[in-house]
């Protein structure tokens, strides 16, 4: 895939509204794990969110704060927006207290997206770990809804333990689907837990795969530690950096390229990313 093919965000599409949140209503809240919830939002003005898989929103609650949260649903599913949120601090704790009907603020959508146009006709290897399945889910939904646009699709997902697995129902659905291949692994199984599938790091799932390197794009989203080792496995399979796409997370404030909190060398993660080809960032200090 050509580097320049990674779509830049329509970051100036919402010029003038960069700092002003629009209002959203919580349509539903669902527990994913003990510390993660899935939220579905609709805009109070009835407009679509215009989000693209890979992008993020700046979510705010008046008097509490604001944080970047990934888009976790594809626009092909309707005019709502879903987000999988882990309880980690001020804003996300407050989000976990939200109920259906509550109103919050959002800015966005911001950042680069997964370039589904450049992925057209290619085999996709979609690798995510932990919370990384939240943004990856938006891409998977898009691929499911435009299935004829893509070649073979393989989904690999790793979680710390069975209790930490996100989107369990959807993973089961993908595992039973004829349209995609899906494998799930857990790092370890606590005593007394029932689990009869893969155990071990996600990197273990890569060597047995048959990959056509000429037509495969791999996408990686997960905790920082995962990238280096997954990339090593993909390189040993013959994949080149141009065909490996990563989504990187950095501490963000403005989300629109003004404050400099999210820099990776000469790049701003919020506007140049969070989605990059590996060839864009591999040589940048501290990127991976
Ligand atoms: C592009 C992007 C997408 C994301 N998508 C998701 C998602 O889909 N779901 C999700 O749950 N999370 C997501 N996150 C992570 C989320 O934005 C952070 O966890 C955010 O800090 C949560 O805000 P908070 O107010 O709840 O937590 P905070 O109160 O900000 O605290 C969270 C943690 O960050 C630490 N922290 C606070 N300030 C700083 C600082 N200046 N530098 C470094 N660390 C600091 C705190 O000590 C604490 O451990 C995403 C982040 C990015 C950049
Ligand atoms: S978050 Fe402010 S420049 Fe990226």
pLDDT in tens, the chain (288 residues): 433 334 444 444 444 578 999 999 999 999 999 999 999 999 999 999 999 999 999 999 999 999 999 999 999 999 999 999 999 999 999 999 999 999 999 999 999 999 999 999 999 999 999 999 999 999 999 999 999 999 999 999 999 999 999 999 999 999 999 999 999 999 999 999 999 899 999 999 999 999 999 999 999 999 999 999 999 999 999 999 999 999 999 999 999 999 999 999 999 999 999 999 999 999 998 898
Give me the helices (H) in 43-89, please. Answer: none
Nearest ligand for residue 250 CA: 1
For residue 25, which of 50, 46, 11, 8 has the smallest C-alpha distance? 46
Tokens of 127: 């690798």
- Give 85 Cα–ligand 1 centroid separation in angstroms: 10
Q: How far apart are CA 234 and CA 213, in angstroms?
A: 10
Nearest Cα residue to atom 6 of ligand 1: 69
| Residue 1, pLDDT score | 45
- Give 118 Cα–ligand 2 centroid separation in angstroms: 27
70 C-beta closer than 6 A to ligand 1 = yes
Q: Ligand 1 pocket test: pick from 67, 138, 267 the residue with the most ligand atoms within 8 Å of its Cβ.
A: 67
Q: 57 forms bridges with which residues in the sheet?
A: 69
Tokens of 117: 């146009």
| Residue 20, pLDDT score | 94
264 C-beta closer than 6 A to ligand 2 = no
- Give 195 Cα–ligand 1 centroid separation in angstroms: 31
Residue with the two structure tokens 């700092």: 19
Nearest ligand for residue 252 CA: 2
| Residue 80, pLDDT score | 98
Q: Over the chain, what is the mean pLDDT? A: 94
- For residue 270, the ligand 1 atom closest to its alpha carbon is 1
260 C-beta closer than 6 A to ligand 2 = yes
Q: What is the DSSP string of 227-278?
A: HHHHHHHHHHTT--GGGEEEE-----SSSSSSS-TTEETTEETTTT-SEEEH
What residues have CB less than 8 Å from 68, skipping those under 6 apart? Answer: 56, 57, 58, 59, 110, 252, 255, 270
Classified as helix, coil or strand, 171 is: helix
Nearest ligand for residue 138 CA: 1
Would you say 160 and 185 are in contact if contact means Cβ atoms under 8 Å apart?
no
Give me the helices (H) in the chain, please. Answer: 90-95, 133-145, 168-176, 224-236, 278-281
56 C-beta closer than 6 A to ligand 2 = no
Digit-coded pLDDT (tens) for 170-187: 999 999 999 999 999 999
- Give 251 Cα–ligand 1 centroid separation in angstroms: 7
Spell out the long-range contacts of 198-206 with Cβ–Cβ below 8 A and sequence spacing 24 or more: 201/158, 201/229, 202/127, 202/129, 202/156, 202/157, 202/158, 202/226, 202/230, 203/229, 203/230, 203/232, 203/233, 205/156, 205/158, 206/127, 206/156, 206/230, 206/233, 206/234, 206/237
261 C-beta closer than 6 A to ligand 2 = yes
Enter the pTM of the model: 0.94
Nearest ligand for residue 254 CA: 2
| Residue 286, pLDDT score | 86
| Residue 218, pLDDT score | 98
Digit-coded pLDDT (tens) for 127-160: 999 999 999 999 999 999 999 999 999 999 999 9
């Amino acid at each position: 895939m050509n580097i320049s093919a990674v779509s830049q965000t329509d970051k100036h599409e919402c010029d003038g509204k960069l700092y002003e949140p629009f209002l959203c209503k919580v349509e539903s809240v669902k527990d994913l794990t003990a510390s993660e919830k899935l939220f579905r939002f609709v805009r109070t003005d009835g407009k679509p969110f215009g989000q693209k898989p890979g992008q993020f929103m700046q979510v705010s609650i008046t008097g509490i704060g604001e944080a970047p949260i990934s888009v976790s649903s594809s626009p092909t599913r309707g005019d709502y927006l879903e987000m999988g949120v882990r309880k980690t601090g001020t804003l996300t704790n407050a989000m976990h207290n939200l109920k259906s009907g509550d109103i919050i603020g959002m800015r966005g959508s911001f950042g680069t997206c997964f370039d589904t146009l450049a992925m057209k006709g290619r085999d996709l290897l979609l690798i995510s770990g932990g919370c990384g399945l939240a943004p990856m889910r938006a891409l998977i939904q898009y691929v499911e809804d435009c299935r004829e646009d893509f070649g073979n699709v393989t989904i690999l997902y790793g979680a710390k333990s069975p209790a930490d697995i996100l989107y369990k129902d959807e993973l089961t659905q993908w595992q039973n689907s004829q349209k995609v291949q899906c494998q799930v692994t857990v790092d370890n199984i606590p005593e007394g837990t029932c689990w009869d599938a893969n155990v071990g790091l996600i990197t273990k799932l890569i060597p047995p795969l048959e990959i056509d390197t000429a037509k495969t794009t791999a996408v990686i989203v997960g905790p920082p530690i995962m990238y280096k080792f997954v990339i090593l496995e993909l390189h040993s399979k013959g994949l080149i950096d141009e065909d490996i796409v990563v989504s990187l997370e950095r501490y963000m404030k403005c989300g629109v390229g003004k404050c400099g909190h999210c820099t990776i060398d000469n790049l701003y993660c919020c506007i140049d990313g969070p989605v990059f080809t590996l060839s864009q960032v591999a040589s940048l200090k501290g990127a991976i």
